[in-house]
Structure 1
Amino acid sequence: MAGPLPLGDPAPPDGCLPASAADGAGSRSLAFYLHVPFCRVRCGYCDFNTYTATELRGAKQSDYADEAAAEVAFAADVLDRSGVARREVSTVFFGGGTPTLLPAADLVRMLDAVRTHHGIAPGAEITTEANPDSVDADYLCQLADAGFTRVSFGMQSAVPRVLATLERTHDPARVPLVVDWAKKAGLQVSVDLIYGTPGETIDDWSESVDAALATQPDHISAYSLIVEQGTKLARQIRSGLLALPDEDLQADMYELIDSRLADAGFSWYEVSNWSRSASSRSRHNLAYWQSQDWWGIGPGAHSHVGGVRWWNVKHPAAYAARIAEGVSPAVGRETLDPEARELERVLLGARIREGIAVRSLPSEARVAVAGLIADDLVNAKAALAGTVELTLRGRLLADVVVRRLTA
């Protein structure tokens, strides 16, 4: 299970948003994230808000689709009562946990609730995460027939020893099969990788990158392993059973995948994400990085509308109880002030290839751009054209860039 929820102001039981949330809503897109908090087993590195069957304490997995659909309907009512402009939903993302532990019909029912209560824009991107061992060809066809457009497979590694350290249970040989099934169903495919696992070598990583490319996906994400406090992995490292991931080796691994993907025709569009074309980027994730509006459905899910951020109760049983009572499942929220929103704009905007317009930065930050160019953290040609765009070195040191732009 994830760590404690953020501190914030109490969220009102009726869910109503402050008037400021409605300002400019018509110029922002609206996305939905549907959190499915169930896993067969808990991976040792995972800090997400997920639960195995023995941890549900009265909550029923079989009831979850109806509970989530009820929050989707509640969201429509809250937006109306708060005066926030109604918009058709541009992206929907099912994450977890393992969404595909639920029957395909449950995911379809949750998606239909979004369609019924909010409307889904023509050409909307609709994604689910999936483990390679949690779907078959028929399941993927059911999703495609219901309007899903994309699936993101948690491959993580092609090396059994590395998967064992991460406590991932799937057979790496199954990844090409599920990718092929998804393509035949008409779905775009993304594969997710993790690098820097304790004991993983550069050769192991090279094997995984080549295996991912061999499946010919539309999109690849690659995230450096972060050791989260409170996880089994953190305890193993603290006790000396495993070694802390080496930062220099992780940098080498990032450079390797960036080079291999470029050679294969992929382009980076966010620090940890590459796509074959602009049309295969994750539009849902771009909505986060561009500070659009999104509503998070489910236990522990976070939402953001017009600078107002809130988060739901964590446990599925507590979530189910609030839904049954007809009150908001949110337990806390915060309204970002202009300074915090500007910091977030730079923090997120610097990570994407489109970058940040130099003219949009305060004068001190514009002065800092020259130093970032000199240190090979920002692309000089792009900066002269008016955009702060990270170089390869800048992507490795993105936090440094943000600190210098916001100092």
Structure 2
Amino acid sequence: MESFELHAPDSAALADAARHWRAAYVHIPFCARRCPYCDFAVVTPDEQVGPHRRYVDALVSEIGMEPHWQPLDALFIGGGTPSQLEPDQLALVIAALAERFGFAAHHEVTMEANPEDWDAETADGFLAAGVNRVSFGVQSFDATVLASLGRLHNAEQAVDAVHVAKAAGFDSVNIDLIYGAVGETVASWRATVERGLATEPDHVSMYSLTVEPGTALSRAVAAGAPAPDDDDLADKYELGSEMMDRAGLVRYEVSNFARPGATVRYNMTAWAQGEYLAFGLGAHGHREQVRRRNVRRLSAYLDMVESGNRPQAGADRIGGWSREVERVFLGIRRAAGVEAGSAGAQLLAGADGQRLVGAGILSDDWGRLRVLRPLLTDEVSRAVLSLSP
């Protein structure tokens, strides 16, 4: 990878490079069951339409419909649960992308996986398929919290999965953690972070539990179940961030922490307003200033692709002022911040910007905006989105 990426997880130079990277997202929707907090395009066993191979074949066909492009610097295979596929099935998808677009030198291929799907044979299979980075949906190492989140693995399986992946030779291993679940105390959150860090991951993504409309969690909260508490979430974020820093994982985005050299290229491309293709159920992409989204219903996706049609649900052209506002909106999530540009200059000149700077939430460092208090990034985001030309 480039030399600037070896010194720090984020920098202005890295952002400049990421703006020109090319990436792709592939969605694998299959899950053993739907987690109560999840609002992604997910297909459980009782909702499947045909075998997994039918979906894989549709993905390969959809990839073939996309106009040729530059070689890919990053590929992210998310879900759902990509590890529900067999390695040879995922290999077909990666091979189709390689044939259609090619991969750049030092490219990154990430797949998400659940710990209960993972063993040495599986790891070797996905490595041979072309995956070089794996992200485990660990979420917690506490049995009570795992149950409340609807997860099927236990703490021991999560630890074993990370160890197996590292032994297999993946370039980078990530663990996802969620804080704020019912039954989680500050002490149990601390224990989860400690146990996660003890596995020596290269990267950690740390998310607050969010109540999304239409989920089982939102229905439970509407019926009287406790919602995540803002003060509790803030305390746990600060605790987790401090523990990451002491362990040598540096925050480079609000929720993402990495060791030097382990910054995620796909993430950086998206936050730099770079371009990325998207394939699969409900996938969102960005190419040539157009943001496209695919249909979310499996039967519709399969019918459209198998009929020779691209499975788009809609597309929006993002240009002019909207694109400038979006650039700042995305960039302020990063620790290195974003060039102010015309939207940032308007923010700083207005009452909202002056209040945010005065409160020590936002800084203007020689024309570069940075959020100094990551927990309040959403407050800055709202101010950015309120800007008008």
**Mapped contact 2:292–2:312 kept (Cα < 8 A):** yes
**Mapped contact 2:25–2:277 kept (Cα < 8 A):** yes
Partners of 2:209 and 2:376 in 1: CA distance: 16
Letter in 1 for 2:57: D
Deviation at 1:397, TM superposition (A): 0.8
**Mapped contact 2:211–2:218 kept (Cα < 8 A):** yes
Does 2:374 match 1:390?
no
**Mapped contact 2:178–2:207 kept (Cα < 8 A):** yes
Q: 2:188 aligns with which of 165, 180, 204?
A: 204
1:51 — aligned with what? 43
1:88 — aligned with what? 71
1:16 — aligned with what? none
Q: CA RMSD, aligned part only?
A: 1.6
1:5 — aligned with what? none
Partners of 1:236 and 1:249 in 2: CA distance: 19
Q: 1:42 aligns with which of 34, 40, 59?
A: 34
Q: Secondary structure at the match of 1:310?
A: strand
2:7 — aligned with what? none
Deviation at 1:202, TM superposition (A): 0.9
Deviation at 1:271, TM superposition (A): 0.3
Does 2:381 match 1:402?
yes
1:288 — aligned with what? 270
Does 2:149 match 1:166?
yes
Partners of 1:271 and 1:135 in 2: CA distance: 29
Q: How does 1:4-403 map to 2 (within 5 A)?
A: 28-56=20-48, 58-75=49-66, 79-80=67-68, 86-187=69-170, 188-240=172-224, 242-277=225-260, 279-359=261-341, 361=343, 363-367=345-349, 370-379=354-363, 383-391=364-372, 393=373, 395-403=374-382
Query: TM-score when scaled to structure 1?
Result: 0.86
Deviation at 1:44, TM superposition (A): 1.1
Q: What is the number of equivalent residue pairs in this alignment?
A: 365
Deviation at 1:130, TM superposition (A): 0.3
Deviation at 1:321, TM superposition (A): 1.3
> What are the ranges of 5 or more consecutive residues in structure 2 without an aligned counterpart?
1-18
Q: Provide the identity percentage.
A: 37
Query: TM-score when scaled to structure 2?
Result: 0.90
**Mapped contact 1:59–1:320 kept (Cα < 8 A):** no
Q: Secondary structure at the match of 1:280?
A: coil
**Mapped contact 1:59–1:316 kept (Cα < 8 A):** no
Distance 1:114 1:262, change over 3 A: same
**Mapped contact 1:359–1:366 kept (Cα < 8 A):** no
Partners of 1:32 and 1:179 in 2: CA distance: 25
Distance 1:359 1:315, change over 3 A: closer
List structure 1 segments (4+ residues) > 6 angstroms apart after TM superposition: none
